[in-house]
Each structure stands twice: as structure tokens, then as C-alpha cells.
Amino acid sequence: MTQQPRNGRAPSVKDVAAAAGVSLGTVSNVLNRPAVVSTATRERVERAMADLGFVRNESARQLRAGTSRALAYVMLDGGNPFFQDVAEGIEIAADAADLSLFVCNSGGRAERESRHLDRLVQQRVQGILITPVDPDAPHLAEIARRGTPFVMVDRLSTAGGHCSVAVDDVLGGRIAVEHLIDRGHERVAFVGGPGSVGQVRERCQGAREVWEEFGRPAEDLIHLPTEALTVGEGRSAGERLAGLPSRRRPTAAFCANDLLALGLLQHAVSAGLRVPDDLAIVGFDDIDFAAAAAVPLTSVRQPRQELGRTAARLVLDEAANPDHRHEQATFVPALVARASTGAVRR
């Protein structure tokens, strides 16, 4: 039986060396370069570690190496399943690289985002992935200046000074509204906000572009702005939609994300409207809840986990590869048609 260290202190490398009958250098090699240690010696050291309950001092290793064994993702909205799925994709890639993942939530607040970034740089994470409040914020450029690799997720970098991964949101808006036009709708609402969110602006831009190309009157594409991209704001938009004069009331709505669309759907069903006969609804993201809704939701799909895995691959390459070149990866969205637009009958 291995002798436990006294005084209740955590066992040290010196304790492991004494228990295994080897030098401190051999224990260090087992921890850091196990391939150079013979199998028998390595097993003896590992057995001593297990008997003692030894846990390596990762903080000390970080000080020597200059980085931690972790990546970090600063998401825009922790309550949105879209970002949770992106984080899962990042975690899959991090785990494959034997790294942990720190997940932070800015909640859409720039000052909170900046504080998270400061702490993560101080923790010397190997790389930071971020869906930013403002992609042009000065504190993002500061990350690169301080030497921490970072990748922008769900926003494309216009300056090209770092990697980014995103879906073509303008194309997504075009796909959604073209589908509604094909279904015969002549008055459509775009539900989304705030306008400070780039994804909302670009999805609205795509909707307006295709509406104009089909020669439809601009006033028949009605913008219902929201304060946030939440289920509650979707319900509120439904109340405002119902309050419009019948001659101006849209027969279809394209929502800037699925949470808004689900809230709008909830309001429509509770108000006795038939979806899609009285109101057709399209969302964006194709989160898992979309297909499981009371009326399965038509949505513009983003490859959520693939966004995360690609972002992690890029940040790991930047951290390890001196010849790394910044890449702007753009994914193509796809419409998933379901019962909420009448494309698939219930």
C-alpha cells in the first residue's frame, strides 16, 4: 500500500517519485512525454499516482506553457437553442483535440462581452470563438493584438483580420420570402429586431430584395420590429399583426428566427387562427423545436453544429500553425418546408 502524504496536503510530484521509486524527471516524463518512458516504469508511476490520488497542477503547467488546455465560446444569447447547438459542435471538436470548452453568455450586452473576453485572455485559453454583439467593436481587435487566436461565429469578418464562419443570411431571407410568394401570398410581414443585430438586418435585406424582384409593392412587405429574438416578442408581434386593418393584414410572416416564429405561432393558435390557412409562418435556424411545434414550422436551416466544428478547426489551426491563413467560411442555408406554410399537410 502506497504511503499517503501527511498533514492533509495534496500529494505532489515528489510524493509520486518517492512512492514509485523513480526520479522527479521520470515522473515529469510520464506526465508530459510518456512515450519516452518504458511501459513497466510508466505503469509503476501511474499506479503510484492512482494510489496517492495525485492530480497534476494544471495551473503550473499553464504558466510554463503559456496557454491552457481550453477553448472558449462567447455566445450572444444563452437562451437560444441555436447557440447551444453551435456550442455543442465546438465542444465535439475541442474534445477531439483533448481540450475543454468554456462557454460564456454575453446576453447581447457589449460591456458583458468585453468583460468575458478580458477574463478569457487572462486565463490564456488557446483560442476564443465569439458571436459578437457588434462585429466591429474595438475590443475584438484587441483580442488579436494581445495574441489570442479568435474566430467570429455566425458573422462574417469584413476586414479579414481574423477567421469567421457564417451562413449567408441575405440568401436565407430571399429563400424564405420566395417560398411564401410561391405559395401565393401577396402581403407578407417580416418579424424581427432589434436592427442592431446584423443577422436581422441581412435577413430583412434578402426579403426585400426578392420582394422587389418579383415586382411586388414595397408597402405589402410589412416590417414588424421586435426588441429581442424571443418567443415572448413573437407573441407580441402576433398581437400587433392581429391589430392591423383586415385589408392591410398580411397572410404570411417571415420571422428572423425560430423563437419569434414559435411565439407568433402560439399567438395565432390561441387566437383561433388556422395555420397556414389564415396565416402562414416561416422561421429561421431550424432548431429542434421547429419540427416539434403544434403546427410543424417551416424554417430556413443553418448547419448549427457544423458552424461550431468549423470555427473550432480554424481557431485550433491558428493556434498551432505558423503558416495559418485567415479564412471566411460561408455556408448555404436551405429551406425545410413543413405544415406552417402548407407545403406539407398535417
Top-tier CATH class for 169-303+335-341: alpha beta
What pLDDT score does 144 carry?
81
Fold (CATH) for 68-167+304-331: Rossmann fold (3.40.50)
Q: Which residue has the higher pLDDT, 44 or 10?
A: 44
**Could you tell me which residues come within 8 angstroms of residue 227 by beta carbon, excluding any fewer than 6 positions away?**
193, 194, 233
Find the farthest-apart pair of alpha carbons in the chain and give their distance in angstroms, rounded: 88
Looking at the predicted structure, is the pLDDT value of residue 1 above 60? no
Confidence of residue 58 (pLDDT cuts 50, 70, 90): low
- pTM of the model as a whole: 0.81
Helix (H) or strand (E) holding 85: helix 81-96
pLDDT digits (tens, 9 = 90+) for 293-346: 999 999 999 999 999 999 999 999 999 999 999 999 999 999 999 999 996 544
Looking at the predicted structure, is the pLDDT value of residue 147 above 90? no
* CB of 120 closer than 8 Å to CB of 128: yes
* CB of 14 closer than 8 Å to CB of 24: yes
pLDDT digits (tens, 9 = 90+) for 217-249: 999 999 999 999 999 999 999 999 999 999 999
Q: Which residue has the higher pLDDT, 10 or 195?
A: 195
Burial of 8 (0-12, 13-18, 19+ CB in 10 A): exposed
Q: Do domains 68-167+304-331 and 169-303+335-341 have the same CATH topology?
A: yes
Mean pLDDT throughout 162-178? Answer: 97
> Which triple of cell numbers denotes residue 248?
392591410
> Which triple of cell numbers denotes residue 27?
515522473
What φ, ψ does residue 287 adopt, rounded to 5°? -65, 165
Q: Which residue has the higher pLDDT, 139 or 217?
A: 217
Confidence of residue 7 (pLDDT cuts 50, 70, 90): low
Q: Give me the residue spans of the domains in the chain.
A: 13-56, 68-167+304-331, 169-303+335-341
DSSP 279-334: -EEEEEE--HHHHTSSSPPEEEE--HHHHHHHHHHHHHHHHH-TT----EEEEPPE
Reply yes or no on domain 13-56 having CATH 1.10.10: no
3-state secondary structure of 188: strand
- The average confidence (pLDDT) of the chain is 91
Q: Which residue has the higher pLDDT, 256 or 139?
A: 256
pLDDT digits (tens, 9 = 90+) for 248-302: 999 999 999 999 999 999 999 999 999 999 999 999 999 999 999 999 999 999 9
Looking at the predicted structure, is the pLDDT value of residue 149 above 70? yes
